[in-house]
């Protein structure tokens, strides 16, 4: 598996340190509020576990599964809801937790859909932001790292459902995904 990685972009320690900082910032922003984290599956699984433990306050977690990639490396722009929320967000302070913000198409669709459910507030937290690929403007309030336009895997991010379990974020060798 490691021979498929061109370069480690973000080390395990870099990720851990940044998540601590993000957790403190989120706790400050939501102090005294009823916070609900909504994780977007599957890529967010590792990040939401770590970021939720870094937020020193009571909170709830729910999940959605949305697809716009399928088995491709590029977003199709067609968004499908695979799993919706289990609870209402009306009147709640909602923080969408994402692994990566890429084109913004999926996230922009999700924001419009969730705003119709009348949350008290709706913000975005993402481990990675890749602005070079942005097609739709989205405001990421809590951002871990801004990264260049490379296909990355690890720490929850995958290619063909593989590489999620790497403890770092690495650049996948092009020959792996261009076969």
Burial of 99 (0-12, 13-18, 19+ CB in 10 A): buried
Active site residue 102: yes
- Nearest-CA neighbor of 27 among 61, 53, 63? 53
- Nearest-CA neighbor of 130 among 99, 166, 155, 108? 99
Q: Which of 50, 99, 102, 139 is catalytic?
A: 102
For the chain, helix (H) and strand (E) counts, in that order, are 4, 9
Q: Specify whether the CB–CB gap between 94 and 36 falls below 8 A.
A: yes
Distances, alpha carbon 137 to alpha carbons 54, 103, 124, 132, 134, in Å: 28, 9, 12, 11, 7
Catalytic residue annotation: 102
């Amino acid at each position: 598996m490691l021979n498929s990685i061109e370069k480690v972009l973000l080390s395990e320690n870099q990720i851990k340190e940044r998540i601590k900082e993000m957790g403190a910032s989120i706790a400050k922003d939501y102090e005294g509020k009823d916070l609900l984290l909504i994780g977007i599956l599957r890529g967010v699984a590792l990040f939401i576990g770590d970021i939720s433990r870094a937020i020193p306050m009571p909170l709830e977690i729910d999940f959605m599964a949305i697809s716009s990639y399928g088995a491709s490396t590029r977003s199709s722009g067609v968004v499908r809801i695979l799993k919706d929320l289990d609870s209402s967000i009306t009147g709640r302070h909602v923080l969408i937790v994402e692994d990566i913000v890429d084109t913004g198409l999926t996230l922009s669709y999700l924001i419009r859909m969730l705003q119709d459910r009348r949350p008290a507030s709706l913000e975005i937290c993402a481990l990675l932001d890749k602005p070079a690929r942005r097609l739709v403007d989205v405001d990421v309030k809590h951002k871990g790292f801004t990264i260049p336009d490379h296909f990355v895997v690890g720490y929850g991010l995958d290619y063909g459902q593989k590489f999620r379990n790497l403890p770092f974020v690495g650049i996948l060798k092009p020959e792996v995904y261009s076969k």
